[in-house]
Amino acid sequence: MIHFDKTLSLNEDLLWFFHPTNDLCQRWKSSWRVSLNDILLHADLYQELRRRQNLFHSISRQKILDLLYLHGTKQQTNDSYLALLKQTIADGYSKEMLDEFDRICLANHEKLPILSCLFSAIANTLAEMAGGDRVGLRSGPYLNREWQYALLMFEEGKNLLSIQHLIKQRQLWIDRSDLLIRAARHYDGNREYRHFL
């Protein structure tokens, strides 16, 4: 109920149901009443659902990053990010998730334990994008010559260059499930490299 010359609270709007005085009844009669049907006719339900889905996944991405940070800094947590990650990918937000991982990797290029957790999460994301458990084993060789530059940069302590190369190379391997699995192996391989042990 909307009144043109008075601001009413929800309590006042509902008060006339319980104690209908003449004043409240007059105010109700002179007010503009909107039905749920009127609201639905003028609302863009698709846009609202999309907004809520975007909000959910924005919060999910932050929760995933928070959990990875806790794991990377060896703080105690029994929570896993995998369920949220799988839902994010199933709903079509894998690009946003990878972009967020890349941003955090670049910002934390000197923090090897956090990088290790992030690389593992990127590998999990790529494997899930490929089809999860349905596409085969993720273990296997990871020394493809196109990815070796990143490993060499890690050996030389040039973590930032290595991360930038990993990002660039991954973008070339993202259009087929077999390449996604192989890319996941390279992230796993870089994570397991002796600098992260």
Residues 71 and 80: their CA atoms lie apart, in Å, by: 10
39/62 same-domain check: no
Count of CB atoms situated within 10 Å of the CB of 51: 11
**Mean pLDDT, residues 76-99:** 91
**Mean pLDDT, residues 81-85:** 92
pLDDT classification of 79: cutoffs 50, 70, 90: confident
Decide: pTM greater than 0.85.
Answer: no
118: which 2 tokens? 């992030």
The dihedral of CA 153, 72, 128, 97: what is its sign? negative
Q: pLDDT per residue over 97-110, tens digit each?
A: 999 999 999 999 99
120/37 same-domain check: no
Q: pLDDT per residue over 143-153, tens digit each?
A: 788 888 888 88
Name the residue range of residue 29's domain: 1-43
Helices (H), 19-81: 22-29, 36-42, 45-72
49/37 same-domain check: no
Q: Which amino acid is at 165?
A: H
On the question of pLDDT at 183 being above 70, the answer is yes
On the question of pLDDT at 84 being above 90, the answer is yes
32/93 same-domain check: no
Domain count, the chain: 2
Residues 88 and 19: their CA atoms lie apart, in Å, by: 49
**pLDDT at residue number 100:** 96
DSSP letters, 120-163, are: HHHHHHHHHHHTGGGG----S----HHHHHHHHHHHTT-HHHHH
**Mean pLDDT, residues 158-166:** 93
On the question of pLDDT at 138 being above 80, the answer is no
Lowest mean pLDDT among 3-12, 21-30, 125-134: 3-12
Which residue shows structure tokens 């932050």?
Answer: 62
Report the percentage of the chain scoring pLDDT > 90. 41
54/73 same-domain check: yes
154/88 same-domain check: yes
CA distances from 83 to 21, 74, 117, 136, 171 (A): 54, 21, 16, 20, 24
Question: Angle at CA 69, nearest 5°, toward 64 and 73?
Answer: 150
33/55 same-domain check: no
**pLDDT at residue number 161:** 93
For residue 32, which of 77, 76, 2, 72 has the smallest C-alpha distance?
Answer: 2
**pLDDT at residue number 196:** 45
96: which 2 tokens? 């946003």
